Amino acid sequence: MDGIRWCDLPGHGQQVPNAYENADGTIIATENAEVKALYDKVLAASAKGLSANLAQWSDDWTGSFQRDGFATMVCPSWMLGVIEGNAAGVKGWDIANTFPGGGGNWGGSFLTVPTQGKNPDAAKKLADWLTAPEQQIKAFKSKGTFPSQQAALASTELTGTTNAFFNNAPTGKIFSERAQAVKVVPFKGAKYSGINDAMQQAIARVDIDKTDTAESSWEKFVSAVKALG
Amino acid sequence: MPTPTTAPANGNSWRQKLSRLDVLISPYLYISPFFILFAVLGLFPLIYTFWVSMHEWNLIGGQGDFIGFDNYTHVLKQEFFWRGMRNTFSIFLLSSVTQTLAALALAAVLNQNIRAKTFWRMGVLLPFVIAPVAVGVIFSKMFADQSGLINGVLGWFGVDPVAWHAGVLQSHVAIATMVNFRWTGYVTLIFLAAMQAIPSELYEAALLDGANRMRQFRSITIPMLRPTIIFVVITATIGGLQIFDEPRVFDQSGLGGSDRQWMTVTMYIYEVGWGAQKSFGRAAAVSWLLFLIIIAVGVLNFLITQRISSGDADKTPEEPANSTMAKEPVA
C-alpha cells in the first residue's frame, strides 16, 4: 500500500440536513459552522497527503484506475459499473460495508409529474407503478439500478446478489444496509447545485490545483456564493 | 373628342403604372431575401436579447419586472465577468495571432511549385472537418496533467509536467492550440486563394530588380493580401471572442476551472443563464456587452490592419519603380 494515496471526496455533506440552505431557501452555506468544519476536515486530510489530488471524472482520474493511482473511493451503487469499466483487467477491487458518520445518499433519479400535463392523475399512477418494489427489483435485475423502496431493500433477490468483479462481494446486502443507514434527507433548494459546484471548486483549488491555501480558497467560495444571489 | 383619347390613355396608364411599379419595386424584391433573413435571424434576436436584458427574466419563470440597466450594472460588478473577459482576450490573442502568422507562412509555402500540391492543400484543411467538441475531447486527453501525451513527451526531454488545468496561461495555451489546430488550415486556404490571384508580373518585375523571396513576400504578397488579411482578422475576432466549445470540454465540470482559469465570456453567459442563477436577463446583458465589445475590437482591428498594410502598400510601388529606372540603363 506504500506510495498509494487515498481518494475520498466529501460525501459528508449528505449527512447535514441543511448544509447550504435553510428550508425557506435562504443561503446559509458561508456561515454554517458544520460546512466550514467539513471543509477544514477534508483539506486537513489532503494536507497530510491522504488525497490522490485528482479531479473526479477527469482523464487523470480515469487513467488512475489502471495505474493504482488511489486505494479507496466512495462507492454508491451506481459507481460499480464505472469502476468495473475504468479498472477493466485490474484485480483486487472490493466493497467495504462502511461509511463515516452513518449513511449518505449520492445521487439518484426522480420521476416528476408536471401539473400542466393532460392527464396528471394517470401519470402519477404510472410513476407509482414504475417505482413500486416489484418493478424496481425487475429493473435492478435487468440493469442494476438500485431500488429506493424500503420493501424492495428487503427482497431476497436483491440481498442475494453478488458481484464477481468485486471479489464476489455481497453487493445487494451491502447497499441495502447502506441505504437503511441513511437517516438524513438533505434539503436541496434552488441554488443547491450552484453552491455545491462552488464548494467543489473551493476544495479543488487547494487539493488538486494548489493555486490557493484553505483560507484564501474559502474566501473565494464566500464571494462565489454571494455572486449566485 | 376627348373621350377616345382618354380611354386608351387610361388603359395605357394602368399598364404604364404597373410597369413603373415593376421597375420601382422589383429590385427591392430581388434583394429582399437577404434582408428578410437578416431581419428574422439577425436583427430580431439582437433586439429581443436587448429587451430581455432590460428585465428580470428567469429560465423557468419567464419574463419579470422591467428593471432598466440593473442587469448590466450587476454583471459589471461581478468578478467572474471580468475574469471571463481576461480569459477570452488572452485565448483570442494567443489563437488568432499565431493562427494568422502560421497560416501566412503555410500559404506562402503551398503557393510554391511543390510536389503533390493538391494533397498538401487538402491536407491542411483536414482538421477543419473535425467537430470542435471532438477536438476538445481528444486534446483534453492529450493535455491531461498527469497521464497526458504532451506532458509524457515533455518528460522525455526532462521537462517538468505542465499544469495545463491549474495554471492560467498554461490552460490558455492548451485551448489556443485546439483552436489553432482546427482553424489554421482554413485560414491558410483563404490566404492561398488570395495569393494565387496576385498577378505574376509583379513578382517577375521584382525578380528583375533583384528582390529576394523574403523581400517579395514582404513588399508584394503582404500588401496585395491586405483585403484578405482584414477579412481574416475580422472573422477571427468575431469567432475568437465567442469561443465556447473547446474551453467548455477542457474539463469535466465545464465551468472553466476551479479558479475559472479558462472560463470565457460565452461560458459565463451559459452559466448565468442556465446555471444556478437561471437569469436570462443577466445572460442577455452579458451577451449585449460582448456584442458591443466585439464591434469595438472589430473596428479597432480594421483600422490597425488597414494602417499597417497600406503603409507597406504606399512604399512598395515607389521603391521597385525607382530601382528599375536605375537599373535599366545599365542593362
Which pLDDT belongs to residue B84? 95
Which pLDDT belongs to residue B154? 93
Which pLDDT belongs to residue B310? 53
Which pLDDT belongs to residue A181? 87
Work out the average pLDDT over B116-127.
90
Work out the average pLDDT over A158-177.
90
Q: B140 contacts in A (CB within 8 Å)?
A: 59
Please give the share of chain B, as a percent, with pLDDT higher than 90: 62
Instruction: Out of B10-24, B208-222, B248-262, pick the least confident.
Output: B10-24
> How far does A220 lie from chain B, in Å, by closest CA?
9
C-alpha cell at B30: 430581388
Smallest Cβ–Cβ distance between B276 and the set A201, A223, A228 belongs to: A228
Which pLDDT belongs to residue B330? 37
Interface contact flag, A208 B79, Cβ < 8 Å: no
Which pLDDT belongs to residue A11? 54
Please give the share of chain B, as a percent, with pLDDT higher than 70: 89
Interface contact flag, B165 A209, Cβ < 8 Å: yes
Work out the average pLDDT over B268-281.
93
Q: Tell me which long-range contacts B193-196 makes (C-beta under 8 A, separation of at least 24).
A: B194/B224, B194/B225, B194/B227, B194/B228, B195/B107, B195/B108, B195/B111, B195/B221, B195/B225, B196/B111
Tens of pLDDT, residue by residue over B238-261, are 889 999 999 999 998 889 999 999
Interface contact flag, A209 B258, Cβ < 8 Å: yes
DSSP secondary-structure letter at A146? Answer: P
Cα–Cα distance measured from residue B238 to residue B39, given in angstroms and rounded to the nearest whole number? 20
Tens of pLDDT, residue by residue over A121-152, are 999 999 999 999 999 999 988 888 889 888 89
Three-class SS state of A84: helix
> How far does B278 lie from chain A, in Å, by closest CA?
10
Top pLDDT among A50 and B133 is at B133
User: Of B119-128, B280-289, B293-302, where does the model show the most confidence?
Assistant: B280-289
Helices (H) and strands (E) in chain B, counts: 15, 2
Which pLDDT belongs to residue B308? 64
Q: B252 contacts in A (CB within 8 Å)?
A: 55-58
Work out the average pLDDT over B152-178.
93
B78-278: CATH topology is: MetI-like fold (1.10.3720)
pTM as predicted: 0.83
Q: What is the dihedral of CA A78, A83, A84, A89, to 10 degrees?
A: 180
Interface contact flag, B144 A59, Cβ < 8 Å: yes
Smallest Cβ–Cβ distance between A60 and the set B147, B257, B258 belongs to: B147
pLDDT at B11 over 70: no
Q: Is A197 on the interface with B (CB under 8 A)?
A: yes
C-alpha cell at A132: 413500486
Instruction: Give ∠ CA A86-A91-A95 in degrees, rounded to 5.
Output: 80
pLDDT at B327 over 50: no
Q: Do residues A30 and A200 touch, judged by C-beta distance below 8 A? A: no
Work out the average pLDDT over B259-286.
94
Radius of gyration of chain B (CA): 28
pLDDT at B59 over 60: yes
What is the phi/psi pair of residue A77, to 5°? -60, -30
Work out the average pLDDT over B150-157.
93
Q: Which of residues 103-162 of A touch B (CB under 8 A)?
A: none
pLDDT at B158 over 50: yes
Three-class SS state of B65: strand
Residue A12: pLDDT band with limits 50, 70, 90: low
Tens of pLDDT, residue by residue over B311-323, are 444 444 444 444 4
Residue A57: pLDDT band with limits 50, 70, 90: confident
Please count the other Cβ atoms lying within 10 Å of the Cβ belonging to residue B316: 17
Top pLDDT among A197 and B6 is at A197
Residue B309: pLDDT band with limits 50, 70, 90: low
The single residue listed with the C-alpha cell 473577459 is B85
Smallest Cβ–Cβ distance between B144 and the set A60, A201, A228 belongs to: A60
Interface contact flag, B276 A200, Cβ < 8 Å: no
Q: How far is CA A143 from CA A77, A147, A167, in A?
A: 12, 11, 20
Q: Is A24 on the interface with B (CB under 8 A)?
A: no
Instruction: Out of A75-79, B8-12, B83-87, B194-198, pick the least confident.
Output: B8-12
Cα–Cα distance measured from residue A31 to residue A20, given in angstroms and rounded to the nearest whole number? 9
Which pLDDT belongs to residue A2? 33
pLDDT at B328 over 50: no
Q: For residue B254, give the nearest of A216, A193, A185 by alpha carbon.
A: A193
DSSP secondary-structure letter at A14? Answer: G
- As a whole number, the mean pLDDT across chain B is 87
Tens of pLDDT, residue by residue over A75-115, are 888 888 899 999 998 888 999 888 877 788 887 788 889 88
Please count the other Cβ atoms lying within 10 Å of the Cβ belonging to residue B297: 18
